[in-house]
């Protein structure tokens, strides 16, 4: 090989080794390193057209055109030689070599030029591979969107290019009903839904000025220009995905829950993500489609984290205790039962339930708390029985989250067995939403409770989307009418009274006991008695009582 050719090849490879940006590498390859070869081979011009197929590294694909002229005396296109190089990395290069006008390349010259082209393109492929390896650290491999580390890098790049935080709005997105989709269609379909959702977002943003990331699972994060906010929100309301199964097609509406933050001046990416997260947590707790950040949200979210952190310690120290609100037979005024209500005594002072119960309800900790309360009740029952005091049936609340626990029935009965408690003294209260979350789990649980004589009741009936199918398909022993029903009886609206009377009549015919919650006045008491609601729970008779006061009530069961 001619010394000049050998030197040119070395210069070419050396220059490409210094760069990992593939297009810059190709541009470098067509400049100075090839100038000695161009003169030697009468090469007047090189043009390169690069085609990138969409993949996780280049979601939109792409095209680029590069050219370098070494001699102004360029032959016509018909004299150019075309070669297509395929890197095997979803990229192709179409290279045209133009000779100096009037020169015809010999076969030997063309072999050298073709080898040169392959060398250029192999170096380009190497640069592309190195670039992809570097980018992989900042990409979510499933969707091709940014990952957590990629957010910081991309946001920093935006700021360096002169964009200011106040130009942007950020969004935390979560695909709704993902558990239902997973149960209905399986993981493989859910993965396709996630990729489709990510693609819709990515193709809607300006990737030079905005960013989209997947934070894991079905959680996404966007930073978009404020002027594009409504466009993106409209897109998020209209994302559809068609599932094909056994020849049938089902169009799904892919809905998302959104936390939104209009970025303030001079704020860091960490603060942007934090405040957007606060907005999303508020939306999730309130079951709202979208919530915009407000400063007070930070205090609430931090309080929730504090509760999550300290409450297990409170359970271990037995600071959490049951208070018992009596259930009274309306006509005989005899104590017939009670509901165990959770109370937290911290440093000798009661923590208001509103400061911790809502946060427990939105955390998996609630399942541990419910079983803790059942054990505390069984311990108290055991103590009263040993003292010769005849107990009444005590109801314990179970969150709908419990029914995700496959061993719930076994865990429940194990606690009763540990303290030797007859099932007739325990009632498990569930809410209407448990019916919709997982009917089969609730059905199986109810059957196992009934086999041991444990009653199951529906709490807060009337606060959700009540369905008669619940009573047809599940054998509830007790239904508790929500306080809102009782309050409506004082409104003078005959429709309210007709509704309550109809519900009470139906439940009576189904041999289901009815508890009227929240009875506070003599007038309300008279009305619920007329409607055949004979068991009363409310301030009219008693507030929730601590252990010793309720024990005294057990020993003197009749209300004057």
What per-residue confidence (pLDDT) applies to 344? 94
Residue 421 located in a structural domain: yes
The number of folded domains in the chain is 3
For residues 385 and 497, membership in a common domain is answered with yes
Average pLDDT over residues 436-446: 79
Alpha-helical (H) ranges within 340-466 are 357-361, 365-386, 408-419, 432-437, 439-451
For residues 283 and 154, membership in a common domain is answered with yes
What per-residue confidence (pLDDT) applies to 510? 79
What per-residue confidence (pLDDT) applies to 336? 95
For residues 345 and 485, membership in a common domain is answered with yes
For residues 249 and 336, membership in a common domain is answered with no
Question: Which CATH number goes with the domain that contains 369?
Answer: 3.20.20.450
For residues 277 and 310, membership in a common domain is answered with no
* Tokens at 33, concatenated: 């390193």
For residues 169 and 243, membership in a common domain is answered with yes
pTM for this structure?
0.60
CA distances to 376, 432, 556 from 421, in Å: 12, 27, 22
For residues 116 and 203, membership in a common domain is answered with no
Instruction: Name the residue with tokens 């990737």.
Output: 207
Residue 142 located in a structural domain: no
Q: Is 471 exposed, middle or buried (0-12, 13-18, 19+ CB in 10 A)?
A: middle
For residues 394 and 523, membership in a common domain is answered with yes
Contacts of 115 (CB under 8 A, 6+ apart): none
Q: Does residue 466 surpass a pLDDT of 60?
A: no
Residue 366 located in a structural domain: yes
The per-residue pLDDT for range 404-425, each reduced to its tens digit, is: 888 999 999 999 999 999 999 9
The per-residue pLDDT for range 209-227, each reduced to its tens digit, is: 999 999 988 999 999 999 9
Alpha carbon distance 409, 424 (integer Å): 16
What per-residue confidence (pLDDT) applies to 1? 46
* Domain closes at, from 77, 109, 136: 136
Question: Which CATH number goes with the domain that contains 228?
Answer: 3.30.70.270
Residue 332 located in a structural domain: yes
* Domain closes at, from 294, 322, 346: 294
Higher pLDDT, 189 or 6: 189
Residue 284 located in a structural domain: yes
For residues 171 and 131, membership in a common domain is answered with no
Residue 299 located in a structural domain: no
201-210, 317-326, 454-463, 482-491: least confident range: 482-491
Residue 342 located in a structural domain: yes
Higher pLDDT, 373 or 458: 373
Q: Does residue 327 surpass a pLDDT of 80?
A: yes
Alpha carbon distance 255, 506 (integer Å): 37
Q: Quote the percentage of the chain above a pLDDT of 90.
A: 37
Q: Does residue 247 surpass a pLDDT of 90?
A: no
For residues 385 and 490, membership in a common domain is answered with yes
Question: Which CATH number goes with the domain that contains 18?
Answer: 3.30.450
* Domain closes at, from 79, 106, 136: 136
What per-residue confidence (pLDDT) applies to 302? 80
Cβ(20)–Cβ(131) below 8 Å: yes
Average pLDDT over residues 30-39: 73
Residue 66 located in a structural domain: yes
Domain containing 423 equals 304-555
- Band of the pLDDT at 374, cuts 50, 70, 90? very high
For residues 551 and 408, membership in a common domain is answered with yes
- Band of the pLDDT at 445, cuts 50, 70, 90? very high
Higher pLDDT, 335 or 6: 335
For residues 276 and 409, membership in a common domain is answered with no
């Amino acid at each position: 090989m001619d010394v000049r050719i050998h030197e040119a090849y070395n210069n070419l490879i050396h220059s490409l080794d210094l760069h990992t940006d593939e297009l810059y590498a190709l541009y470098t390859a067509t400049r100075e390193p090839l100038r000695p070869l161009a003169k030697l081979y009468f090469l007047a011009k090189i043009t390169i057209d690069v085609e990138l197929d969409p993949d996780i590294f280049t979601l939109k694909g792409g095209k680029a055109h590069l050219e370098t002229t070494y001699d102004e005396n360029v032959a016509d296109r018909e004299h150019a030689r075309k070669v297509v190089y395929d890197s095997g990395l979803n990229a192709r290069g179409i290279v045209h070599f133009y000779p100096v006008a009037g020169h015809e390349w010999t076969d030997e010259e063309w072999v050298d030029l073709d080898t040169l082209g392959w060398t250029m393109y192999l170096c380009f492929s190497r640069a592309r591979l190195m670039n992809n390896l570097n980018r992989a650290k900042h990409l979510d491999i499933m969707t091709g969107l940014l990952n957590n580390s990629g957010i910081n890098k991309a946001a920093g790049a935006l700021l360096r290019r002169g964009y200011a935080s106040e130009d942007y709005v950020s969004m935390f997105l979560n695909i709704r009903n993902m558990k239902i989709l997973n149960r209905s269609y399986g993981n493989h379909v859910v993965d396709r839904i996630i990729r489709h959702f990510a693609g819709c977002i990515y193709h809607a943003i300006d990737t030079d000025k905005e960013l989209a990331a997947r934070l894991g699972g079905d959680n996404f994060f966007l930073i978009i220009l404020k002027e594009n906010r409504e466009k993106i929100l409209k897109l998020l309301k209209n994302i559809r995905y068609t599932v094909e199964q056994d020849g049938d097609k089902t169009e799904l509406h892919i809905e998302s829950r959104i936390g939104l933050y209009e970025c303030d001046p001079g704020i860091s990416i960490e603060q942007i993500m934090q405040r957007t997260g606060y907005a999303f947590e508020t939306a999730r707790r309130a079951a709202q489609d979208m919530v915009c950040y407000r400063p007070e949200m930070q205090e609430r979210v931090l309080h929730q984290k504090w509760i999550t952190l300290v409450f297990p310690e409170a359970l271990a120290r037995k600071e959490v205790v049951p208070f018992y609100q009596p259930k009274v037979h309306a006509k005989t005024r005899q104590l017939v039962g009670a509901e165990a209500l959770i109370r937290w005594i911290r440093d000798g002072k009661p923590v208001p339930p509103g400061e911790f119960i809502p946060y427990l309800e939105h955390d998996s900790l609630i399942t541990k708390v419910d079983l803790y309360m059942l054990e505390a009740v069984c311990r108290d029952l055991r103590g009263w029985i040993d003292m010769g005091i005849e107990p009444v049936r005590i109801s314990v609340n179970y969150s709908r989250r419990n029914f995700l626990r496959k061993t719930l029935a076994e865990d429940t009965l194990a606690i009763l067995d540990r303290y030797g408690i007859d099932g007739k003294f325990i009632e498990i209260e569930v809410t209407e939403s448990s019916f919709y979350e997982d009917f089969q789990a609730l059905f199986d649980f109810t059957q196992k409770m009934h086999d041991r004589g444990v009653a199951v009741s529906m709490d807060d009936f009337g606060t959700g989307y009540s369905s008669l199918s619940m009573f047809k398909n599940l054998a509830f022993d007790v239904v508790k009418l929500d306080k809102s029903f009782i309050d409506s009886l004082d409104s003078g609206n005959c429709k309210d009274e007709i509704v309550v009377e109809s519900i009470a009549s139906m439940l009576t015919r189904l041999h289901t006991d009815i508890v009227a919650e929240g009875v506070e006045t003599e007038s309300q008491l008279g009305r619920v008695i007329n409607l055949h609601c004979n068991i009363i729970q409310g301030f009219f008779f008693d507030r929730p009582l601590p252990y010793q006061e309720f024990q005294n009530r057990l020993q003197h069961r009749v209300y004057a």
